[in-house]
Structure 1
Amino acid sequence: MNAKLIAMLFLVPLGFFLGIPFPISIRLMKQRGFGEMIPYMWGINGIASVLGSALAMMIGIQLGFSYAIYLAALFYLSVGLFFRLMKKAKPAAGMESTIKNV
């Protein structure tokens, strides 16, 4: 089998699932009445992308790529837990009408 096809079979699903948390968090912020913070989220996402790739490379070289992958997985799980808790939390007082209008 072609090496490019094999690489695609592994990378496309990974890229798809790694791309899901950001749009979901943007939608969740809008529903919770934090729509004005969405541009900041885009900025944080851009900064985190640059810093994350540089850190992953440095950690991979210094400690090994398995360690870098474990740290990345731990980070993704902690962010996922944070947004799961945020989704279950009740809106702040006065935000109910904002959420209903979204």
Structure 2
Amino acid sequence: PFPLKCIAVVILLAPLAIFMGMPFPIGLQIVSDKASNYIPWVWGINGVASVIAPVLGSLLSVCLGFRIVMGVSLLLYGVAGWIIHRTALA
């Protein structure tokens, strides 16, 4: 039934959406607290990355395979998390 499918989709996608959506707001809050003059740069870098990442991800998945692209993505999210954690402690 359709309602059960909708519930299953929400249950499966919610954790991914939460974890993928949290690094930018957390990083933005840290930058705002420590050096608010860099906020425009953070937004600019986010905008550029938002345009480049899907294109680059698609091209790399064709050339290198989906698993490699997912591994690189996981690595980059880990690096972002490490940077946010390290910056928050400083």
Q: TM-score, normalised by structure 2?
A: 0.85
- Aligned equivalent of 2:33: 31
Instruction: State the match for 1:49 in structure 2.
Output: 50
Structure 1 unaligned spans of 5+? 90-102
Partners of 1:69 and 1:29 lie apart in 2 by 28
Q: State which structure, 1 or 2, has the greater radius of gyration over its C-alpha atoms.
A: 1
Q: What's the CA shift string for 1:18-52, capped at 9, x where partnerless?
A: 010100111111111x1111111111101101111
Q: TM-score, normalised by structure 1?
A: 0.76
Unaligned runs of 5+ in 2: none
Greater per-residue helix proportion: 2
Q: Once the two structures are aligned, what percentage of the paired residues are identical? A: 32
1:8–1:62 Cα change, 3 Å: farther
Task: Give the alignment's Cα RMSD to 1 decimal.
Answer: 1.8
Q: Which residue of 1 aligns with 2:62?
A: 61
2: CA distance between counterparts of 1:7 and 1:54?
26
Shift of 1:4: 5.7
